Amino acid sequence: MTRQWLTGLLCVAVLAGTAAPLFAADKDPLPDVRDRMKVEAQRIEKEFTEGRAAAYKLVRAADPKLVEATEKLETLLVMVRRDTSLDAKRRKVLLVTLEWDLDKVKEIAGERRRTSSSGAALSRATRSDLRRDDSERRTTDSNSVVRSARSIIESRSRAVDDYRDDRRRSGDRFNRVMASAAKSAIPESRNVTFPKDWVEKSRKRTAGTKMTAKEKQIMKALSTTIDAEFSENNFEDVIDWLKKVTKCEIIVDGAAWTRRASPTRRRSP
């Protein structure tokens, strides 16, 4: 009984050991293949981008290296043609792009060479112009020194002349001021002094002034001499008499006359 049990246990162990490889063999390898293809496609895309950038950098340098740039593009072209990880449409796009790049780098290299040659010619012309300008500058240095000295002398001469003119004008102004002060210090012998054009101004003013009949009457009364004698007459009687004689209305400020006739007396404290 014991021998049978051991024999059965040994058969089960053998069967279990042989079943594991069978189950492992039944696993699908397609996902692993797809993942590897995806990684390979990413690598191709990366090399394609970096290779193109390097090729264009070579031909756009100051000294364009067309041969190296072309070799890089052709290497990329062979790599893309042999690749099987990319999609068919994507592979075609990359191939067309690389073929276009081969022609483009040649064009860029040619332009850079022409530009470099023209730049070199321009540099030579610039150096020649600089040498010529330097010689001309040395030649004209002496003339510029002479002109500078001449301009300094002329400017200082003008400054001296201006100073003399200022002194002369200042002296003239001082003399006129002193003459005017001396004239104003002389006392006037007449009572009233009229300006020289007083007659002309008076004629213009008189012709242009039009007075009314009442104003003429007032002016006539003011220019008339009146003989009068008053004795023990009050102020109102005198005003009434003047109104009758001059036939003019005389208005008296009653409040002012009252304050004048009876001044306010201070009260003793």
Parent domain of 243: 210-261
Query: Is the Cα torsion angle 32, 33, 35, 36 positive or negative in sign?
Result: positive
Percent of the chain with pLDDT over 90: 0
Q: Is pLDDT of 24 > 50?
A: no
Structural domain ending residue among the three candidates 106, 136, 166: 136
Does residue 225 sit within a domain? yes
Average pLDDT, integer, range 116-142 = 67
| Calpha distance 245→138 (Å, rounded) | 108
Cβ neighbors of 67 (< 8 A, separation 6 or more) are: none
| Calpha distance 59→57 (Å, rounded) | 6
Give the range with max mean pLDDT: 99-113, 114-128, 141-155, 246-260.
99-113
Structural domain ending residue among the three candidates 100, 116, 136: 136
Average pLDDT, integer, range 60-87 = 85
Average pLDDT, integer, range 220-242 = 86
263: its two tokens: 């001044």
Does residue 66 sit within a domain? yes
Question: What is the enclosing helix (H) or strand (E) of 161?
Answer: helix 88-185
pLDDT at 206: 58
Are 219 and 211 contacting, i.e. CB atoms less than 8 angstroms apart?
yes
Q: Is pLDDT of 193 > 60?
A: yes
The verdict on 39 and 123 lying in the same domain is yes
Model-level pTM? 0.35
CA angle, 193 as apex, 187 and 195 as ends, to 5°?
A: 120
Are 64 and 112 contacting, i.e. CB atoms less than 8 angstroms apart?
yes
CA angle, 214 as apex, 209 and 217 as ends, to 5°?
A: 90
Unique residue bearing structure tokens 């893309």: 80
Dihedral through CA 168, CA 169, CA 171, CA 175, nearest 10? 140
pLDDT at 17: 52
pLDDT at 263: 53
Structural domain ending residue among the three candidates 118, 136, 154: 136
- Per the structure, the count of domains in the chain is 2
Q: For residue 19, name the pLDDT band (cuts at 50, 70, 90).
A: very low
Does residue 165 sit within a domain? no
Q: For residue 5, name the pLDDT band (cuts at 50, 70, 90).
A: very low
Of 193 and 42, the one with more pLDDT: 42
Does residue 132 sit within a domain? yes
Does residue 228 sit within a domain? yes
User: Among candidates 87, 21, 138, 235, which has minimal Cα distance to 243?
Assistant: 235
